[in-house]
């Protein structure tokens, strides 16, 4: 191997624009990696309920995030995060291929967990709501078994897995205020990881200041079992 080879792929010099939605957890992954790398970028929020034509032209699946690197549009959050990691020091993914594969596995797990959180807040009745809550706890327990001494997923160094789970845990800052669903019972490592991510500046800065209120309004408008719980919490707060 040429020992003069650069340790990173072609460094990025083009202007970066993150096409975003205010509540999207996949957008947050990219925003966190951009912040960890100290990369300046413009954030352009769109309304996913009324997708603009320019957005549909650059987003083949019609989803956020899209990262514009100059004129080139990159879609899919995992791809965006890996591109940013490959083109900017210091690397967030492990150098060892097997460890990198393990991290990618847990990133997939994080995406499956986001789907389950969606199933939880969209559940139509109390029975389904409680069943999804129990499934989330089971998934959390699986992560607990994969965690070491912390504070982050792989120890002292922040990784792409951390960029994925910061946005996952952020949901629970709002959900935990609605009711105690027992999500965190018996999971000390997971709770410690959640706290470390909540204090990380890149994670804190990945959403607008009014994110909790926006998420609250979004959840309330689902017409789901959780929305009804929220209405009864609000009614008893008023009483």
Ligand X SMILES: N[C@@H](CCC(=O)N[C@@H](CS)C(=O)NCC(=O)O)C(=O)O
Per CB under 6 A, residues contacting ligand X are 21, 24, 26, 48, 62-65, 76-78
* Residue placing its CB nearer to ligand X in the complex, 184 or 218: 218
Q: How far apart are CA 179 and CA 132, in angstroms?
A: 14
Q: Give the residues across from 73 on adjacent strands.
A: 68
Q: Give the residues across from 18 on adjacent strands.
A: 43, 67
The CA dihedral of 191, 193, 199, 203, to the nearest 10 degrees, is -120
Q: How far apart are CA 125 and CA 66, in angstroms?
A: 35
What are the tokens at 160?
């792409």
Residue 155: CB minimum distance to ligand X, A: 25
Catalytic choice (23, 24, 31, 168): 24
* Residue placing its CB nearer to ligand X in the complex, 63 or 194: 63
Residue 114: CB minimum distance to ligand X, A: 8
Annotation marks residue 81 as catalytic: no
What are the tokens at 236?
């008893």
Q: How far apart are CA 168 and CA 164, in angstroms?
A: 7
* Residue placing its CB nearer to ligand X in the complex, 189 or 216: 216
Residue 122: CB minimum distance to ligand X, A: 14
* Residue placing its CB nearer to ligand X in the complex, 76 or 135: 76
* Residue placing its CB nearer to ligand X in the complex, 48 or 147: 48
88-92 own/partner pairs: CB under 8 Å, 24+ apart: 88/8, 88/11, 88/12, 88/37, 88/39, 89/7, 89/8, 89/37, 91/8, 92/33, 92/36, 92/157, 92/158, 92/159, 92/160, 92/163
Residue 39: CB minimum distance to ligand X, A: 18
Residue 108: CB minimum distance to ligand X, A: 10
Q: How far apart are CA 45 and CA 82, in angstroms?
A: 22
Active-site annotation, residues: 24
């Amino acid at each position: 191997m040429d020992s003069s080879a650069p340790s990173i792929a072609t460094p990025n010099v083009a202007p970066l624009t993150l096409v975003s939605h205010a509540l999207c957890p996949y957008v947050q992954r990219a925003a966190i990696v951009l912040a960890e790398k100290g990369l300046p970028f413009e954030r352009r929020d769109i309304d996913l309920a009324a997708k603009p034509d320019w957005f549909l032209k650059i987003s083949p699946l019609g989803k956020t995030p899209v990262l514009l690197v100059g004129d080139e549009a990159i879609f899919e959050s995992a791809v965006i995060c890996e591109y940013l990691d490959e083109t900017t020091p210091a690397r967030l993914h492990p150098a060892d291929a097997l460890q990198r594969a393990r991290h990618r596995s847990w990133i997939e797990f994080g995406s499956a967990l986001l789907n389950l959180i969606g199933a939880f807040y969209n559940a139509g009745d109390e029975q389904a709501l409680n069943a999804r809550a129990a499934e989330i706890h089971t998934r959390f327990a699986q992560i607990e078994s994969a965690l070491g001494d912390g504070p982050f997923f792989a120890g002292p160094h922040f990784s792409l897995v951390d960029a994925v789970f910061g946005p996952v845990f952020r949901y629970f800052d709002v959900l935990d205020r609605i009711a105690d669903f027992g999500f965190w019972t018996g999971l000390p490592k997971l709770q410690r990881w959640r706290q470390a991510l909540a204090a990380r500046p890149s994670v804190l800065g990945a959403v607008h200041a009014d994110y909790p209120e926006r998420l609250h309004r979004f959840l309330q408008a689902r017409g789901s079992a959780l929305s009804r719980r929220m209405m009864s919490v609000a009614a008893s707060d008023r009483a």
